[in-house]
């Protein structure tokens, strides 16, 4: 699951496959936090990216990262600023996002 968080297939122009896999990874992390740490983190609607209102998606996604990082007192990044059309920005954002998922998963031992 984690590997699918890192890359967006170039043929997936609306990122639908990536966003679904990414959402599932967030759910798996959330469920593990609930089971292991007994924190009930909020579920945000991030499984579909609405590019007509990208900022709202980015902010909902950031809430999920802020909450999961806070459980383990991990530093996070500002994931609310990205232009997905710019390949360099997209790749940098994907790596920052991936590292946060990886760090939380390591803390959870999943």
Q: Quick one: pLDDT band at residue 7, thresholds 50, 70, 90?
A: confident
Query: How far is the C-alpha of 56 from the C-alpha of 26, rounded, in Å?
Result: 17
All residues at 6 or more sequence positions from 106 whose CB lies less than 8 Å from its CB, including other chains: none
- pLDDT computed for residue 63 by the predictor: 98
Q: What is the pLDDT of residues 45-95, one digit of tens each?
A: 999 999 999 999 999 999 999 999 999 999 999 999 999 889 899 999 999
102 pLDDT exceeds 90?
yes
Stronger pLDDT, 72 or 4, i.e. the higher one = 72
Q: What is the pLDDT of residues 12-30, one digit of tens each?
A: 777 899 999 999 999 999 9
Identify the pLDDT of residue 2: 84
How far apart CA 74 and CA 98 sit, in angstroms, is: 14
pTM of the model: 0.93
Model pLDDT, residue 109: 97
């Amino acid at each position: 699951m984690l590997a699918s968080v890192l890359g967006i297939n170039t043929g997936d122009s609306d990122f639908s496959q990536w966003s679904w896999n990414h959402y599932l990874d967030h759910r798996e992390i959330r469920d593990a936090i609930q089971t292991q740490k007994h924190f009930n983190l909020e579920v945000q609607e991030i499984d579909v990216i609405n590019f007509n209102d990208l900022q709202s998606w980015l902010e909902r996604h950031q809430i999920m990262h802020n909450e999961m990082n806070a459980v383990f007192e991990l530093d996070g990044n500002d994931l609310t600023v990205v232009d997905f059309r710019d390949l360099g920005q997209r790749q940098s954002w994907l790596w920052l996002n991936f590292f946060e998922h990886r760090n939380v998963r390591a803390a959870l031992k999943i």
